[in-house]
Every structure is written in structure tokens, then in C-alpha cells.
Amino acid sequence: MMADVLASVAGFQARLDLMDTSKSSESAPSTAAPTASTSQATPTGTTRSRSNRNHGPATDGLATYSAVANALIRGSLAPSTIRAYDSALASFTTFMHNLGLSATISVHSSLAFIGFCHSSLHLSHNTIKLHLTGLQHHRSLLHPNTPSLLSARPIKAALRGVSLSSLHRSPSRTPVTGDLFRAMCTLLDTHPFGYHLSTVIKAAIHLAFYGFLRPGEFTRLEHRSPGLTLGQLSPSGSGFTLSLLATKTCRWGASVRYFPVSHRWCPVAALSALLAMLSGRAADGPLLPLGGQASTSSQFIKHVRSLITMLGKDSARISGHSFRIGAASAASRHNVPAHVIKKLGRWSSACFDRYVLDPSLEMANVFKILAL
């Protein structure tokens, strides 16, 4: 166990080498002349310098255990979060080096980075804030007593400005709402990709929509993950349970329930058809196979966009998150309580509020009961 932690410390230290660990921006160098040190006898008769007393084994041990603690902090994060934070640091480092500056994370340099992300990269408010959270993560590992970037008033004001300037932008992702979901299912019943592939895609969109799944939870992220296996989907009463090995908010996995419904868009029926087609295959085989392997996110989205194009609709803004966004929005429009939506989507915060794209119906329902 300790060997694993120390190995992660080494990898973590290699990433920190990207940053300028100089503290010159935080404290001015002392100009006082060096003073002679006073020696003191030790119990063994040796002497040591009083000025060096704080640079011996005790300090070395503190640094070692601090590095272990930093590795444990990173170990508390989901792999996708670590990738996002490291990507933010790499982007910031490249930005600063292109300006001929050292990659020192400060309020001033972070403000400039916000301006770059907004004006040059055209990133959304949420993406820029995620980048800053990543920078704060790396900064706090080096300087844990330094106030958070996100609490600095100039940073908060800049992020608020980005948010206000983005209010009238068209949404970057189109939600798969109930009507679009039903239209795709009806089209898949005609087997436009052939029986096998159409059955897989139909099961995948039922998994994603009814399970409020993130793309990485039901598809293979290229070569980073193995994808879902048959053994992860098991019967549960009259429905099924999908066992996720890890999620963004729970590294120890989660269980997603699928219940039967009486209409033709029943997730249990779609999953039963998939399992019947894959009958006899090993439990460690892919649950959503394409070409003998678990389908990747890009393969899944390619086929979904093809379906939407066949329906005569614009597919440019459809992404893997479109099913999760659409499910949250549909649940809200049908007056599902917020705490239930949060539970269904396994959100650890109230960030799902932004997926409710048009709350006018909910607001109208509130007016009906206010005076009662």
C-alpha cells in the first residue's frame, strides 16, 4: 500500500515540475547579511549549526509525509477529475510560456488566463471555472496556506462577467428530449443499421436516457477504459441493475436501476432484447459491442447523429451528454422533485439546475399554487 502511495508521489512530483515553485512572487528575498551560526554540542559530542537546526531529518521527514498527503489528496479524486485538473495546468503552463513568463499561479496570472480562455479559446463559463479549480488544486498542493483563487474578488468578478456575456449564446449541446428519444427508438425498430447494430444502439440510448448516464459511464473512452461488460447488467426484480465500477462523483462505483414501464419505450424491453441477442457470451464480454469491442463514445455519437439526420433534424450539437441533459430537463418538466433528479443523476451538487433549459412550465405551475 505504501509503495503504491510513494509511486504516485513520484508521478505527482513530475507533474509539479511543470510549475515554477519559486516563492519570489509571495515574499521578497531578504537582503540582510548572513550572521554567524552558533554551534551547540549534541549528546554524542558532535556539533550542529543552530541556523541549520531546521534543515535536518525532521524537516526532511515533514516534506516526505507532506508529499504522501498530497498524493492521498489526488487519490481522493476521480480519474476524470485528475485528468481535467492536469489538463488545466498544462494549458495554463503553455499559455504562460507563450508569453515568455514562468508558470507561476497567482491571482494576476489567473486573471490573464481567464481573459485568454474567454477571448481566444471561446470557452464557456463552466469550463473556465473548471480550469481555475484545477489550477487551485495544484496551487494548494504547493502552498496549502495560500487563500483560494476562487475566493479572490477579481477572480469572482471576472467569472461573473464571463457568465453574463454568455447568456445570449446558443447552447453548446442539444438535449435529447422525450420526443426526440421516441423518434429515434421508432426509427431503430426498422433496423436502419442492420438488426445487430440497431439493437445495440437502441439499448445504449435506453441505458443513457433512463440512467442519466455520462458518456464515459456506458461507452469506452477510446483506449482509456474497457467499457461496460455483460456481467455489470443483472436482473433485479422485474427490471435490471447496472453496476458502474466508478463514476465521476463516486470512485467506489454506483448502482443504476432500470424499471419496466407500460409503453413501447420501455428500457427493460430494450435491454432484454440486447441480452437475448448476446446470449451465450462470456460475462466479461462487452455489453454494447461494436466490431467485437465495447463501443467508444465517438462511435456511439456517430450513429446517434446519423439517426437524427435521418429524422431531418440538425445533429451538429448532439453529444454524449445530450441524453443526460435531456433526461434531467424532461424530469423537471414533469414535476419530478429536485432531490429525486439529483439522486437519479448521481449529482453531488445542484449543478444539474443548468440542465433545465426552459423552466417556464415549472414557473407557471408555481403560480397556480402560490395563493392557495
pLDDT higher than 60, residue 35: no
Confidence of residue 26 (pLDDT cuts 50, 70, 90): very low
- Which CATH architecture fits 64-169? Orthogonal Bundle (1.10)
pLDDT higher than 50, residue 39: no
Residue 304 vs residue 217, higher pLDDT: 304
| Cell numbers that stand for 18 in this block | 511543470
| Model pLDDT for residues 157-184, shown as the tens digit of each residue | 999 999 888 655 555 678 898 899 999 9
Confidence of residue 365 (pLDDT cuts 50, 70, 90): low
Residue 52 vs residue 108, higher pLDDT: 108
The overall average pLDDT reported for the chain is 80
pLDDT higher than 50, residue 205: yes
pLDDT higher than 50, residue 138: yes
Q: What is the pLDDT of residue 360?
A: 61
178-358 has the same fold as 64-169: no
Residue ranges of the domains in the chain? 64-169, 178-358
Q: What is the mean pLDDT of residues 255-277?
A: 93
Distances (CA, A) of 273 to 195, 199, 206, 303: 11, 7, 12, 19
Q: What is the pLDDT of residue 214?
A: 86
Percentage of the chain beyond pLDDT 90 is: 43
Residue 208 and residue 164: Cα distance in Å, rounded?
Answer: 31
Confidence of residue 329 (pLDDT cuts 50, 70, 90): confident
pLDDT higher than 90, residue 114: yes
CA-closest candidate to residue 280, choices 330, 230, 215: 230
Residue 345 and residue 65: Cα distance in Å, rounded?
Answer: 37
CATH code, residues 178-358 = 1.10.443.10
Q: What is the mean pLDDT of residues 43-54?
A: 46
Residue carrying C-alpha cell 453496476:
243
Looking at the chain, list the stretches that DSSP marks H as alpha helix, in order from N- to C-terminal side: 2-16, 57-75, 79-98, 107-119, 125-142, 153-165, 178-188, 195-210, 215-218, 267-277, 297-310, 322-333, 338-345, 360-370
pTM for the whole thing? 0.59
